[in-house]
Structure 1
Amino acid sequence: MRRLHAPFLALLLALSFALAPSASANNQRYAAFVVDQNTGVVLHSRRSEAQRYPASLTKMMTLYMLFEAIDIGEIGLEDQIRVSANAASAPPSGLGLRSGDTIRVEDAILALVVKSANDVAVAVGERISGGERAFADEMTVRARALGLENTTFRNASGLPNSRQTTTAQDMARLAVALHRDFPQYFDFFDTTEFTYGGRTYRNHNTLVGRVNGVDGLKTGYIRASGFNVVVSAERGENRLIAVIMGGPTAAARDAHAEELLEAAFNTLEQRQDSRLFAGLTIPRLNPVREQAIIAREFAELGVAAPTEMGSAQSAPPLRVVLADEDEMTSPLAAPAAERSSRDPANIWSVQVGAYRSADQARERLAQVAALSPALDNAQHAARSVDVNGNQLWRARFEALSAEEARQACSDFGRFDQACFAVAPGR
Structure 2
Amino acid sequence: MTHVTPLLRRYAAGLTLLLLLLNTALAAPPVPAPPTIAASSWLLIDYDSGRVLAEHNADQRLEPASLTKIMTAYVVMREIREGNVGLEDQVLVSKKAWKTPGSRMFIEVGKKVPVKDLLHGMIIQSGNDASVALAEHIAGSEQAFAALMNEEARRLGMYDTHFANSTGLPDEAHYTTARDIAKVAAATIRDFPEFYPWYSVKEFTYNKIRQHNRNKLLWRDKSVDGLKTGHTQAAGYCLVASAKRDGMRLISVVLGTGSENARAKESQALLNYGFRFFETHRLYGAGEALTRVRIWKGTREKLALGLEKDLYVTIPKRQYKNLEAAMNIEPRLMAPVDKGEKVGTVNITLNGETVASVPLVALEAVGRGSLFQRARDSVLLWLE
Q: Paired residue for 1:14?
A: 34
The answer to whether the Cα contact below 8 Å between 1:114 and 1:192 also exists between their aligned partners in 2 is yes
**Structure 2 counterpart of 1:415:** none
Find the aligned partners of 1:11 and 1:148 in 2 and give their Cα distance: 29
Q: Within 2, Cα distance between the matches of 1:191 and 1:96?
A: 18
Name the counterpart of 1:185.
195
The answer on whether the counterparts of 1:53 and 1:165 sit within 8 Å (CA) in structure 2 is yes
Matching residue within 69, 80, 83 for 2:79: 69
Q: Deviations over 1:155-191 (max 9, x none)?
A: 1111111110000000000101111111111111110
- Measure, in 1, the Cα distance between the counterparts of 2:126 and 2:252: 19
TM-score, length of structure 1 as denominator length? 0.59
Match of 1:250 in 2: 260
Q: Report the Cα distance in structure 2 between the residues aligned to 1:246 and 1:254, rounded to whole angstroms.
A: 12
Residue number in structure 1 paired with 2:70? 60
**1:103 equivalenced with 2:113 (yes/no):** yes
Q: Equivalent residue of 1:208, what SS?
A: helix
* Structure 1 residue 269: Cα displacement: 4.3
Distance 1:65 1:287, change over 3 A: closer
- Which of these residues, 157, 161, 167, is aligned with residue 151 of structure 1? 161
The sequence identity of aligned pairs, in percent, is 35
Amino acid at match of 1:168: A
Counterparts of 1:13 and 1:194 in 2: how far apart (Å)? 39
d(CA) in 1 for partners of 2:268, 2:69: 22
Q: Distance in 1 between matches of 2:142 and 2:129?
A: 11
| Paired residue secondary structure (1:212) | coil
> Could you tell me which residue of structure 2 aligns to residue 235 of structure 1?
245
User: Which residue does 1:117 correspond to in 2?
Assistant: 127
RMSD value, Cα: 2.4
Aligned position for 1:345: none
Correspondence list, 1:14-413, <5 A: 14-16=34-36, 19=38, 23=39, 30-269=40-279, 271=315, 273-275=317-319, 295=351
Structure with bigger gyration radius = 2
Instruction: Give the distance between the partners of 2:173 and 2:31, measured in 1 at CA.
Output: 34
Q: Secondary structure at the match of 1:45?
A: strand
Secondary structure in 1 matching 2:254: strand
In structure 1, what residue type is equivalent to 2:259? T
The Cα shift of 1:294 comes to 6.5
Structure 1 runs (4+) deviating above 6 angstroms are: none
User: Counterparts of 2:87 and 2:61 in 1: how far apart (Å)?
Assistant: 35
| Count, aligned residues | 268
C-alpha distance in 1, partners of 2:325/2:164?
A: 53
* CA distance in structure 2 between the partners assigned to 1:182 and 1:160 by the alignment: 28
- Given that residues 12 and 44 in structure 1 are in contact (C-alpha distance below 8 angstroms), is that contact kept between their aligned partners in structure 2? no
Q: Residue 44 of structure 2 contacts residue 270 of structure 2 at CA under 8 Å; is this kept in 1?
A: yes
Which blocks of at least 5 consecutive residues in structure 1 are unaligned? 1-9, 24-29, 280-285, 299-426
Asked if 1 retains the 8 angstrom alpha-carbon contact of 2:64 and 2:235, the reply is: yes
Q: Contact (CA 8 Å) 2:160, 2:176: kept in 1 or not?
A: yes
Q: Is the 8 A contact 1:12 1:43 kept in 2?
A: no
Letter in 2 for 1:41: R
C-alpha distance in 2 between matches for 1:77 and 1:250: 32
Amino acid aligned to 1:180 = R
User: 1:96: how far off?
Assistant: 2.3
TM-score normalised by structure 2 residue count:
0.66
Equivalent in the alignment of 1:370: none
Q: Distance in 2 between matches of 1:246 and 1:239?
A: 24
Encode CA deviations 1:73-110: one digit per residue, 9 max, x unaligned: 11111121111011111002112222211211111111
SS of 1:115's equivalent in the other structure is coil
Q: CA deviation at 1:210?
A: 2.1
> Cα offset for 1:215?
0.6
Q: CA deviation at 1:274?
A: 1.6
- Contact 1:150 / 1:167 at 8 angstroms: preserved in 2? yes
**Is the Cα–Cα contact under 8 Å of residues 240 and 251 in structure 2 kept in the other structure?**
yes
- What is the CA–CA distance in structure 1 between the aligned matches of 2:320 and 2:31, rounded to whole Å? 19
Residue by residue over 1:60-82, the C-alpha shift from the partner in whole angstroms, topping out at 9 and shown as x without a partner, is 11100110111011111112111
**Residue 188 of structure 1: SS of its match in structure 2?**
helix
CA distance, structure 1, for counterparts of residue 176 and residue 325 of structure 2 = 43
Q: Do the aligned residues in 1 keep the contact of 2:46 with 2:249 (CA within 8 Å)?
A: yes
State the distance in 2 between where 1:112 and 1:49 align.
26
Q: Is the 8 A contact 1:13 1:263 kept in 2?
A: no
**In structure 1, what is the Cα distance between the partners aligned to 2:350 and 2:152?**
41
**Which structure has greater helix proportion?**
1
| 1:247-299 deviations in Å (ceiling 9; x for gaps) | 011111110110010001111149575245669xxxxxx999xxxx9649x9x
What is the rounded CA distance, in whole Å, between the counterparts of 2:271 and 2:90 in structure 1?
Answer: 38
Which structure is higher in strand share? 2
Q: How far does the alpha carbon of each residue in 1:213-247 deviate from its partner, in whole angstroms, 9 at most, with x for none?
A: 11100000111111111011111121111000000
Q: CA deviation at 1:206?
A: 1.1
